[in-house]
Amino acid sequence: MLIKVKRKSTCSLPDPSTAREKLKKVSPPKPCFENFSYKFPVTCDLSVIVPVYNTERYLAECLGSIVGQKVDFDMEVVVVNDGSSDGSLNVIKNFAAKDARIRVIDQANRGFSGARNVAIDAIRGVLCFVDSDDVLAPGHLQTLWDELQRSDADWISACYSKMSEDGRDLGPTERVRTHGGPWARMYRRHMWAHVRFPEGFWFEDTLIAYCIKPLFKEAFANDRGYFHRVHAGSITSTASRSPKGLDSYWVVEEMLDWCDKLGIPFADVYRQTILQFGPLLVSGVESLDEESMKCLFALCCECIGRYYPNMENATIGGGLGLLEESLLSGNYDMGRVACRWGR
């Protein structure tokens, strides 16, 4: 598809097919849409899912904060040891020996998505996610549960707090509506009947914005009792130095394909797609050379043209609108200004 040029650009972009093949060699995509089913009937109120990989240092604090929650409903804790090579499995077994609510799944490493997915298959109630290095404040689960019971919404979202590696409270996030992680939320079971986290990708949480938010009604709880630990070596902080940072693009293509299969109108995720191609994308590809950056920009333009062929004029205001216009026009120079493509 030819993309209408609105402003003159000083450089030409590679053909999208050439760009795609070049970037596949850097870090290839891994399509993974499947059909899903639950293994068990509903037999408890809440299933707390904890994926674990080499977090022995923090795991006891995490599990202790979960089983120590005072609640007026039945819950289970599904802990998935995802091929840990440290002492994480022993920590899990010690907790399970003392608390019958803990169910242990031990598997070869499949990554965050694979660990969460095998647990989703096995849930027996409403579900929520807790990362194995994070901590819940007293009352967090009860607050989300009560809000879910009062609401006709499909899922409840709360704010969360950031925590340093050594456990210092770094304060709450700015707004719950900007929160993109799967945790600090509670979901009714039916929401996951047809979706799972995309395996083989970094930035797998993109699923929430594309396949959860557009389909299901969300309500909000006034709570910041989920403490998310910030690491210097996390995927978010290291992706820019790895070829896998390209997953910030590939996962968008994958999610748009899932939207098509799930019957989600592309218009419902248009703004999100522009946003993904903005700061979220840039933060993941700082290691690319200039030629590869042009290839990536060309693919972003081609993606917008393919899924949104009737979009000719920018519809989003502010700084994001400039990025939108650059993608609609194929203007790489404008894109550099809008989103710091050429750092």
Q: pLDDT digit string (tens) for 216-250?
A: 999 999 999 999 998 775 555 555 567 788 888 99
Protein fold of 46-231: Spore Coat Polysaccharide Biosynthesis Protein SpsA; Chain A (3.90.550)
Instruction: Look at residue 246 in the predicted model and tell me its pLDDT.
Output: 86
Buried b (16+ CB within 10 A) or exposed e, 47-80: bbbbbbbbbbebbebbbebbeebeeeeebbbbbb
Q: Phi/psi of residue 296, each to 5°?
A: -65, -45
Instruction: Look at residue 105 in the predicted model and tell me its pLDDT.
Output: 98
From CA 60, how far away is CA 65, in angstroms rounded?
8
Please check the confidence at residue 298 and state whether its pLDDT lies above 80: yes
From CA 251, how far away is CA 236, in angstroms rounded?
15
Instruction: Look at residue 4 in the predicted model and tell me its pLDDT.
Output: 43
Beta bridge partners of 248: none
> If you search the block for the tokens 């939108």, which residue do you land on?
324
Per-residue pLDDT of 145-204, as tens digits, reads 999 999 999 999 998 998 888 888 777 765 555 567 899 999 999 999 989 999 988 889
Within the chain, all domains assigned CATH 3.90.550.10 are found at 46-231
pLDDT > 70 in the chain, percent? 86
Please check the confidence at residue 342 and state whether its pLDDT lies above 50: no
The mean pLDDT of the chain is 86
Q: What is the mean pLDDT of residues 291-320?
A: 82
Assessment of whether the complete model's pTM goes beyond 0.85: yes
Instruction: Look at residue 322 in the predicted model and tell me its pLDDT.
Output: 85
pLDDT category at 310 given cuts 50, 70, 90 is: confident
